[in-house]
Amino acid sequence: MASTSVATAPGRSAWDGGASPMGASYGKLMMWFFLLSDAFTFSALLITYGLVRSAHPVYTGSVHDFKFSQHYWPIPERVFEAVPFLHGVEAPLVFVGIMTFILIMSSVTMVLAVEAGHRMDRKAVEKWMLWTILGGICFLSCQAWEWSHFIHGSEAGKAVVEGTKFFGANLVHNQYGPPDFAAFFFFITGFHGFHVFSGVCLNFLIYYNTVMGVYDRRGHYEMVEKVGLYWHFVDLVWVFVFTFFYLV
């Protein structure tokens, strides 16, 4: 809990121990600073994407006539327009929209778990942690499908040499645009997906400890709050990835 005044005995400073100078516990404070450094990593990835993209020529024709080419950066909404079970239906960004929805909802269930933890309500923490884990797993499954679709490609492959065509993407070639495009897709969404995966593991650990009554015995549910910070950060990063990779 935030409190602006820190009570200290006369002759002692707030840094002599026994007090929380920033009104947050050591663990929570360190989680904040870890997230700050992680934000730098993600910023570096996204800013490099911006650099490389702005160094490439822009497609100038109309969106309707857009064709994949090595010579200019692709329009993202023409790349990500597939939805599972709807083969051949062009639905630009719909699937990414569903993924965004899933992640925001799992952030809400996490914050509800944190709230229940403040009230020492074990049953509610268990319930909301399970929903959060489910949301995380759904998101990862969606990402697995999206990666698989991106790697295998669509019907309109690109001509590599006359007469041969290349479908999908790897780190050297891709049918959608310059090689850097696929490389950034793999690195940015992959690094984010790895964070989601670690988040799901941490959430499961918290759920397990809650069920075993560890936090009841400890007398507080602060671990739920710390892992909650991490989980919200993962959601926060997705908000930026969604804007800069898929929308812009």
Partner 1 sequence: MAHAEETVHINVIPPDHAKIRKLWITALILLVITICEFIVAFTIPHEYKDLRVWIFITMTIVKAAYIVGEFMHLRYEVKVLIWSILIPMIFVVWMLVAFLYEGMAISSVR
- Residue 228: partners with Cβ closer than 8 Å, 6 or more residues away: 110, 111, 113, 114
- Which of these, 188, 243, 170, 234, lies nearest to 48 by C-alpha position? 188
112 close to 126: Cβ distance less than 8 angstroms = no
Q: Which amino acid is at 182?
A: A
21 near partner 1, rule: CB under 8 A: yes
**Helix/strand/coil for 69:** coil
Joined together, the tokens standing for residue 124 give: 């509610």
Q: Which stretch binds partner 1 (CB under 8 A): 33-41, 146-154, 164-172, 175-183?
A: 33-41
- Name which of residues 95 to 154 contact partner 1 (CB under 8 A): 97, 100-101, 104-105, 107-108, 110-112, 115-116, 118-122, 124
Closest approach, Cβ 47 to partner 1, in A, equals: 5
The phi-psi region of residue 168 (left if phi > 0; otherwise alpha if psi is between -120 and 50; otherwise beta) is left
Q: Per CB under 8 A, does 55 bind partner 1?
A: yes
Residue 49: both structure tokens together:
């994407």
Which of 19, 23, 69, 147 binds partner 1 (CB under 8 A)? It is 23
- Contacts with partner 1, residue ranges (CB under 8 A): 2-4, 21-24, 29, 32, 36, 39-40, 43-44, 47-48, 50-57, 62-63, 75, 77, 92-93, 97, 100-101, 104-105, 107-108, 110-112, 115-116, 118-122, 124, 213, 216-217, 228-229, 232-233, 235-236, 239-240, 243, 247-248
